[in-house]
């Protein structure tokens, strides 16, 4: 029997990195469309209002393109494997919002109001600050798992943000809601907008540790597994906090968002349907209880149940001490006049809603001028952002990242639902603003920060696994074959 030895040449085989491609060029191509569509809409508004292309078309297009380019370069440099759809979708919504706000600035009716000031230039500034916030998140947040270290600190920060409007001399009561603070040089800010991001960090860190205990059930009732009594503590605490927000700040939107986000994350962490049922019941009990004695909430409920009556009362002198508003009825008329295809850019009358036309009720302008088709397209864009966020949660490799992505996506979806539902008459008005399209610096900054965190999580989730290191001390294997 003779033996044959393998060649002395050492061949090393390595396993290459396997993962999703970068997709940055796809993102860049989508950004071109995300900038071109608002520029086309801007030209349409100018032609409809003044029969000429607006003089600021070129500067608007270059400005929006520059902001989108900066954001894209930040993603390409610091999050090369991130989801390619999130940035273009957010840019498209932000650009369309700027167009509608500028369109409302041209209204003679709004210009005749005592405290009118052009909102579009300031919104463009807020958008630039939002892109800066987005880039800062990507630059300084190298790994989203770092946030897990600040689980309880984030809850303290959330409480501070929620309580700031109640500080004497700092908070401002605007139209019955105590959700604003006055900052010299910047006007009014709404810290509650950031309260949908910071608590998500706490909930994700807390539920990651406690999810096994919260998933235990003590008994079964009507097909539901009831949680143990001692495990009801966390949900009771969060429920009480949301009720306190509703009582002291009369802010139905933030209260619903705060509690709803926790229930969504709790359900995802434990996979227990009973938590959803308990959450809905506790939300209903709390809202009905507060509405029974809080006049501001009662007014919004009455306007929701009978908007035409509120419209009539707002047109006459009343002695009931209640500030009646015709905004919801004007909003419903705007949606109705829009029909299926809309009246066209710049040809609606949503400025009759007056001072809230570019903030709380900006969705009504889209409904009137773009019609049902345009509204469905916008809701589809919002739905795609939520879907990409949930897809990121599914792809995340760590439980903290999964829960954080679910919490942020759920909060975003809840905000879209309560705003769109309020202006359409589906639920009572909450006073929140539509993400990216409504006027307001706090909203723009918070939502761009939210997109930045989702992109960071998606980059970590989609990043290829590192190539295994070779062992330099590996010995050659001798192969012996029979003759």
3-class secondary-structure state, position 19: coil
Spatial distance between the Cα atoms of 27 and 354, rounded to a whole number of angstroms: 38
Do residues 361 and 327 lie in contact, with contact meaning Cβ atoms separated by under 8 Å? yes
- Ranking 26-40, 41-55, 322-336 by mean pLDDT, the lowest is 322-336
Which residue, chain included where needed, has tokens 């909430």?
A: 297
> Does residue 230 surpass a pLDDT of 80?
no
What pLDDT was estimated at residue 217?
A: 60
Spatial distance between the Cα atoms of 449 and 91, rounded to a whole number of angstroms: 13
3-class secondary-structure state, position 173: strand
Spatial distance between the Cα atoms of 23 and 66, rounded to a whole number of angstroms: 20
Average pLDDT, integer, range 273-289 = 80
Average pLDDT, integer, range 172-196 = 67
For the record, the structure tokens of 156 come out as 């303290």
Higher pLDDT, 415 or 220: 415
pTM of the predicted protein model: 0.87
Higher pLDDT, 3 or 361: 361
Spatial distance between the Cα atoms of 115 and 354, rounded to a whole number of angstroms: 11
β-bridge partners, 180:
172
> Does residue 2 surpass a pLDDT of 50?
no
For the record, the structure tokens of 105 come out as 């600035």
Do residues 133 and 127 lie in contact, with contact meaning Cβ atoms separated by under 8 Å? no
The residue ranges of DSSP E strands in 299-340, in sequence order, are none
Residue 16: pLDDT band (50, 70, 90) is very low
Average pLDDT, integer, range 211-223 = 67
> Does residue 12 surpass a pLDDT of 90?
no
What pLDDT was estimated at residue 470?
A: 58
Average pLDDT, integer, range 240-259 = 76
For the chain, the distance separating the N- and C-terminal CA atoms, rounded to the nearest angstrom, is 5
- 414 Cβ contact list (under 8 Å, min separation 6): 256, 257, 260, 261, 264
DSSP annotation string for 262-298:
HHHHHHHHH--HHHHHHHHHHHHHHHHHHHTT-HHHH
pLDDT tens digits for 19-40? Answer: 457 789 999 999 999 999 999 9
Do residues 364 and 327 lie in contact, with contact meaning Cβ atoms separated by under 8 Å? no
> Does residue 306 surpass a pLDDT of 60?
yes
Order of strands, edge to edge, in the sheet holding 187-189? 171-174, 177-183, 187-189
Spatial distance between the Cα atoms of 167 and 466, rounded to a whole number of angstroms: 51
Spatial distance between the Cα atoms of 470 and 449, rounded to a whole number of angstroms: 40
DSSP annotation string for 72-113:
HHHHHHH-TTS-SSHHHHHHHHHHHHHHHHHHHHT-HHHHTS
Spatial distance between the Cα atoms of 429 and 419, rounded to a whole number of angstroms: 7
Average pLDDT, rounded, for the chain: 83
Spatial distance between the Cα atoms of 167 and 26, rounded to a whole number of angstroms: 47
- 52 Cβ contact list (under 8 Å, min separation 6): 46
Spatial distance between the Cα atoms of 409 and 451, rounded to a whole number of angstroms: 9
What pLDDT was estimated at residue 167?
A: 72
Average pLDDT, integer, range 83-90 = 96
DSSP annotation string for 404-473:
HHHHHHHHHHHHHHHHHHHHTTSS-------TTTSS-HHHHHHHHHHHHHHHHHHHHHHSPPPPPPP-TT
3-class secondary-structure state, position 52: coil
Is the backbone of residue 45 left (phi > 0), alpha (psi -120 to 50) or beta? alpha
Residue 46: pLDDT band (50, 70, 90) is very high
Spatial distance between the Cα atoms of 122 and 128, rounded to a whole number of angstroms: 10
Q: Which long-range CB contacts under 8 A does 106-112 form with residues at least 24 apart? A: 106/45, 106/49, 106/50, 106/346, 107/351, 107/357, 109/351, 109/352, 109/354, 110/351, 110/354, 110/355, 110/357
What pLDDT was estimated at residue 398?
A: 92
Spatial distance between the Cα atoms of 188 and 344, rounded to a whole number of angstroms: 33
β-pairing, 217-221 vs 187-189, is unpaired
Which range has the top average pLDDT, 155-169, 185-199, 364-378? 364-378
């Amino acid at each position: 029997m003779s033996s044959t030895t393998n060649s002395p040449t050492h061949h090393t085989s390595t396993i290459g990195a396997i993962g999703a491609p970068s997709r940055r060029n796809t993102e860049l191509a989508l950004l071109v469309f995300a900038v071109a569509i608002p520029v086309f809409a801007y030209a349409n508004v100018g032609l409809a209002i003044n029969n000429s292309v607006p003089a600021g078309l070129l500067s608007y297009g270059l400005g929006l393109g520059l902001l989108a380019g900066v954001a894209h370069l930040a993603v390409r440099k610091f999050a090369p494997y991130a989801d390619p759809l999130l940035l273009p979708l957010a840019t498209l919504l932000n650009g369309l919002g700027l167009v509608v706000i500028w369109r409302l600035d041209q209204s003679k009716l709004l210009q005749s109001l005592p405290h009118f000031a052009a909102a579009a230039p300031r919104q463009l500034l807020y958008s630039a600050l939002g892109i800066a916030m987005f880039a800062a998140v990507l630059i300084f947040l190298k790994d989203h798992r770092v946030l897990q270290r600040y689980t309880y600190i984030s809850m303290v920060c959330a409480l501070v943000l929620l309580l700031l409007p109640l500080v004497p001399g700092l908070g401002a009561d605007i139209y019955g809601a105590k959700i604003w603070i006055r900052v010299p040089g910047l006007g009014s800010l709404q810290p509650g907008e950031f309260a949908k991001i910071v608590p998500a960090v706490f909930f994700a860190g807390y539920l990651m540790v406690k999810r096994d205990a919260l998933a235990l059930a003590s008994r079964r009732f009507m097909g539901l597994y009831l949680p143990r009594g001692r495990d009801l503590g966390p949900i009771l605490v969060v429920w009480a906090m949301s009720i306190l927000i509703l009582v002291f700040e009369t802010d139905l939107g933030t209260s619903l968002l705060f509690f709803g986000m926790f229930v969504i994350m709790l359900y995802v962490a434990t996979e227990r349907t009973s938590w959803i049922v308990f959450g809905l019941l506790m939300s209903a009990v709390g809202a009905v209880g507060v509405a029974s004695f809080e006049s501001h909430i009662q007014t919004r409920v009455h306007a929701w149940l009978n908007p035409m009556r509120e419209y009539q009362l707002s047109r006459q002198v009343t002695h009931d001490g209640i500030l009646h508003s015709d905004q919801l009825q004007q909003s419903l008329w705007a949606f109705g006049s829009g029909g299926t295809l809309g009246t066209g850019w710049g040809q609606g009358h949503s400025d009759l809603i007056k001072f809230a036309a570019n903030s709380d009720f900006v969705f009504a302008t889209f409904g009137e001028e773009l019609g049902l088709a345009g509204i469905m397209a916008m809701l589809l864009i919002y739905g795609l952002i939520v879907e990409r966020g949930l897809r990121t949660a599914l792809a995340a490799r760590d439980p903290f990242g999964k829960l954080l992505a679910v919490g942020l996506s759920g909060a975003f979806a809840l905000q879209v639902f309560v705003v769109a539902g309020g202006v359409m008459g589906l639920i009572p008005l909450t006073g929140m603003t539509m993400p990216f399209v409504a006027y307001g610096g706090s909203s723009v900054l918070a939502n761009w920060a939210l997109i930045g965190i989702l992109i960071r999580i998606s980059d970590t989730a989609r990043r290829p696994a590192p190539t295994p290191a070779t062992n330099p001390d590996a010995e050659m294997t001798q192969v012996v074959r029979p003759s």
